[in-house]
Amino acid sequence: MTDDHAGPAVSRRLMAVVAHPDDETLGAGGTLARATRSGHHTAVAVLAPTTTSRAPLSATATREDLDAAVRMLGVGDLILGSFDDNRLDAVPLLEIVRFVESAIAAIRPDVVLTHHRGDLNIDHRRCHEAVLVATRPTPGNSVETVLAFEVPSSTEWRHDPATVFAPNVFVDIAATIDTKIDTLRCYGTEVREAPHPRSPEAVRALAVLRGSAAGLIAAEGFELVRTIR
């Protein structure tokens, strides 16, 4: 994919809507970095910016981690929700939808990236549902394309043959895979040692695998949810 062709990496305005800090990097960090390098506006909306569900068993991502990550990716706008980590299933879907709708109204993206519907993490699935509602193709909605990404250690760990992640859109991130890995290290408490899926080695290997499916050195894979041309 070159910057002369339409696609998520060259969107005029691209927004990732994610459940937690680090999801934007794991799922679409290479794509976000590529878009910003190409001069396009990028934004990240985070529903539950404070990850607390694993405390006190392990340290969790902080707002400082998130700020450092979006700076490294070159993200132009960061929009924070106030929902509780791993509690989105206890929140009326309409409340989440309204947050996503307000973020979309503020940024006016033409491409939205979000979680896959089959993720193990309940927050990821609720985020996906809210994005589907908020991006309905109604008059005045700026969103032309919705793409779902995978989050290592979540998407592949839910055993449900009906919702297996099957990427059919691939973004070349050969020039930004190192940025993705460096950004992941901003979340020091979330990074694991190999062979864990969130280890730098595994994240790079996944990019190589997705790239090989599209004749590329490294890629991020997405499932096309909807596109309007």
Mean pLDDT check: name the lowest of 47-51, 63-67, 94-98, 99-103. Answer: 47-51
135 vs 60 pLDDT, higher one: 135
Domains of the chain with bracketed CATH: 8-227 (3.40.50.10320)
Give 11-45 pLDDT, tens digit per residue. 689 999 999 999 999 999 999 999 999 999 999 99
The strand order across the sheet containing 13-18 reads 77-80, 41-46, 13-18, 111-115, 145-149, 219-227, 169-172
CA distance 43 to 107: 7
pLDDT at 6: 43
Averaged pLDDT score across all residues of the chain = 91
**pTM of the entire predicted model:** 0.91
Structure-token pair, residue 35: 């878009």
The pLDDT value recorded for residue 191 is 81
* Element containing residue 227 per DSSP (H, E): strand 219-227
What average pLDDT does range 178-185 have in this prediction? 96
Are 145 and 110 spatial neighbours (Cβ–Cβ below 8 Å)? yes
The pLDDT, as a whole number, for residue 152 is: 95
Helices (H), the chain: 23-37, 63-73, 93-107, 122-134, 177-184, 200-212
Residue 51: pLDDT band (50, 70, 90) is low
Q: Are 84 and 118 in contact (CB under 8 A)?
A: no
